[in-house]
């Protein structure tokens, strides 16, 4: 089965603390009628530090959408390669072993995608498939894992590279003064993550089943209003309540796999905020400690969008992993309202399976599908 290996994660060098965020909010919005509420909400996020690609003084300026998007591209090209190299090393692979790159980001736009630049700049083969995912927001980390799982199930000898690049600070809009916008200003941070899904071999989560769930009539709860000034993030006050309809979807997928979602060995979920984690703990009937990796990401980095699930998984690896065959769940939540869910068990690679064994003399690289799984991609 495909194995999700240890992610590599990097956050920028510029740090802003909770105290600095609160002071800025007081200075910038001293006359805001709901400032006390905004300050309380920001403090309740539990976010102690966030990392930004620019100093806060530059982050607060708005030179225009064109300049911001140009900065996104420059910073992505400067920062992503090192993370990709670390992720490949974690999986004992090289660029030549990768069959597909899934690049996820909702905080900047490039066409051709960053995938094309990576292929040209880092030695990936010219026939590497490209799957950019741009409009699933925070759920895209889970979606990328699921699409990589699908691909490596259909092509069992293939390997997939997932890259998440989120510079949320480039979406700061000084004229957006709603409570949701003020809360977002104290919640989101910048980060890059990458991970490999190996079709064969590897230590990590052996992916067994995945699924998606869309909560009806919630498209406008998390969204972008795209204007001349860029992406304006819209966050509805009902978003924190979404675990009540989404928790049953997690339970149903686990039940279809013969598992009890309340009785698993590890949980890696997107930490949109503490209320999300608290409610999920309640509705799944699992102790709050089950989401300690997601809470750590939220506390130290803030909400880094699609990169959260990969960073939380990295923290599980850093803790030493879990016993062989331990069962777990991964989930990303985002606009839609959408959940992307994965199930799998922990596996250790004791045999160091060959990195890439496809016979390219007989078939195009990575194109020999499993007959029963071919329709997944």
Question: Which of the residues are catalytic?
Answer: 138
SS3 label, residue 83: helix
CA pair distance 109, 113, nearest whole angstrom? 8
Residue 22: closest CA among 46, 37, 39, 44: 39
**Contact assessment for residue 146 and residue 212, using Cβ atoms and an 8 Å cutoff:** yes
CA atoms lying within 13 Å on the CB side of residue 174? 13
Q: Say which residue the tokens 């691909």 belong to.
A: 151
SS3 label, residue 342: strand
CA pair distance 229, 242, nearest whole angstrom? 30
Between 140-154 and 308-318, two packed helices, what is the crossing angle to 10 degrees? 70
45, 93, 283 from 276: Cα distances, Å: 10, 36, 11
């Amino acid at each position: 089965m495909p194995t999700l290996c240890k992610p590599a994660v990097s956050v920028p060098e510029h740090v802003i603390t909770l105290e600095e965020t609160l002071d800025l909010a007081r200075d910038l919005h001293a006359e805001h009628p709901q400032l006390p509420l905004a300050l309380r909400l920001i403090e309740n996020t539990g976010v102690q530090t966030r990392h930004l690609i620019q100093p806060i003084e530059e982050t607060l300026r708005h030179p225009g959408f064109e300049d911001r998007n140009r900065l996104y591209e420059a910073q992505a090209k400067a920062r992503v390669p090192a993370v990709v190299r670390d992720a490949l090393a974690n999986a004992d692979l090289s660029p030549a072993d990768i069959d597909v790159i899934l690049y996820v980001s909702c905080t900047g736009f490039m066409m051709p995608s960053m995938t094309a630049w990576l292929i040209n700049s880092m030695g990936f083969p010219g026939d590497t498939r490209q799957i950019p995912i741009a409009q699933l927001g925070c759920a895209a980390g889970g979606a990328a894992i699921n699409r990589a799982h699908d691909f490596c199930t259909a092509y069992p000898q293939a390997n997939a590279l997932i890259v998440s690049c989120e510079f949320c600070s480039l979406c700061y809009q000084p004229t957006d003064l709603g409570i949701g916008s003020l809360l977002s200003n104290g919640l989101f941070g910048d980060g890059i993550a990458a991970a490999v899904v190996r079709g064969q071999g590897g230590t990590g989560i052996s992916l067994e089943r995945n699924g998606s769930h869309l909560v009806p009539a919630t498209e406008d709860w998390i969204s972008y209003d795209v204007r001349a000034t860029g992406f304006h993030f819209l966050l509805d006050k009902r978003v924190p309540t979404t675990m009540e309809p989404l928790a049953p979807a997690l339970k149903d997928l686990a039940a279809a796999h013969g598992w009890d979602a309340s009785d698993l060995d590890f949980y890696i979920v997107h930490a949109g905020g503490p209320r999300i984690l608290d409610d999920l703990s309640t509705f799944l009937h699992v102790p709050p400690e089950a989401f300690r990796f997601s809470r750590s990401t939220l506390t130290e980095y803030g909400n880094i969008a699609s990169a959260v699930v990969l960073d939380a998984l990295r923290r599980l690896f850093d803790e030493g992993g879990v016993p062989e065959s331990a069962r777990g769940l991964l989930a990303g939540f985002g606009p839609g309202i959408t959940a992307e869910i994965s199930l799998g068990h922990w596996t250790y690679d004791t045999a160091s399976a060959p990195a890439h064994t496809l016979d390219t003399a007989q078939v195009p690289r990575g194109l020999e599908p499993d007959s029963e799984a071919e329709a997944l991609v």
